[in-house]
Amino acid sequence: MTPLKIVVLGGSGFIGRHLVSRLAADGHAVTLLSRNLGPHHDRLLPPGVTLREVDVYDPDVLRACFTGNDAVINLVGILNEKGDNGRGFRRAHVELTKLVIAAMQLAGVRRLLQMSSLNAGRGRSHYLKSRGEAEAAVKASGLDWTLFEPSVVFGDGDGLFCRFAGLLRIAPVIPLARAKAKFAPVYVGDVVEAMRRCLHLRGSRGEVYELYGPDVFTLAQIVRMTARQLGLRRLVLPLPDALGRMQALACDFVPGKPFSSDNFRSLMTDSVGGIDGLHRLGIPATRVADKLPAILGHVDERQARYQRFRAAR
């Protein structure tokens, strides 16, 4: 595998942390662009990774950062925005993607790997609409692009099982909007492997890969599965859509937006795939059951009974 010089945007997020480490282990020279560097950031980087604090919305800065590199990977994405008008999503997904494309064209870099989402361009949510607009810009760019459309991604430190785990530890009852919404969770290691292979696979240029796992779960099943793995007995209370919308609207005003009106609209469209991108790339899909104990920690039945006994005292 020929070492490449790669620029990554959005590499400090969940998928990015896993991807950057793997690319560095493969011997690639990785430059990670970030708008905000935390203290001691350099201690957390694997060898071969350079972190640059830049304004990624400055086209001249982007062009300078891209010049002399072999590929750009854009992982930038947000799940919520300030307000509920779509502007935050368009800025992060559409405007930045267009800036990346223009800077690559000026810098003479042709290879672009772009993270998107399953159902991009479908449904009523600002999130999915903006993902679809970004995809359209990539497809019209004339670059050697590859698009990745994952379902919800799971793994160590994820925003799915780990996020629900934190909530389940403190809440005996979980009122759940869109409890019947369906997902086909895909393992972060499989997503990373797909992107890694496509860097060198000429046949992946101009292709869109749906990335999803072998199992389909409802949102309620995911929450209950998390509780069982933690050894907790919790009541999952599915909400009718009218109450679910009210819950989402109320959460719009909660700091950090644990849930939002746009999240609710996204959940109206099941996150399940149609054409298996992992299979197309020769990657065996990882099952949730094979990784969940490592992600959340294994709790045997005796330990679970002891936890319930202590909670009841």
Predicted TM-score of the model (pTM): 0.92
| % of the chain residues with pLDDT over 90 | 88
Contact by Cβ (8 Å): 259, 248: yes
Q: How many helices (H) and strands (E) does the chain have?
A: 13, 13
Mean pLDDT, rounded, of the chain:
93
The predicted structure's pLDDT at residue 268: 97
Alpha carbon distance, N-terminus to C-terminus of the chain: 59
The predicted structure's pLDDT at residue 309: 45
- Residue-wise pLDDT tens digits, 149-201: 999 999 999 999 999 999 999 999 999 999 999 999 999 999 999 999 999 99
| 172: exposed, middle or buried (Cβ count in 10 Å: 0-12, 13-18, 19+) | exposed
Q: For the chain, what are the domain ranges?
A: 5-154+186-211
The predicted structure's pLDDT at residue 313: 47
**Rounded Cα distance, 300 and 85, in Å:** 46
Pick the CATH number of 5-154+186-211 from 3.50.50.60, 2.40.128.30, 3.40.50.720, 3.40.50.300: 3.40.50.720
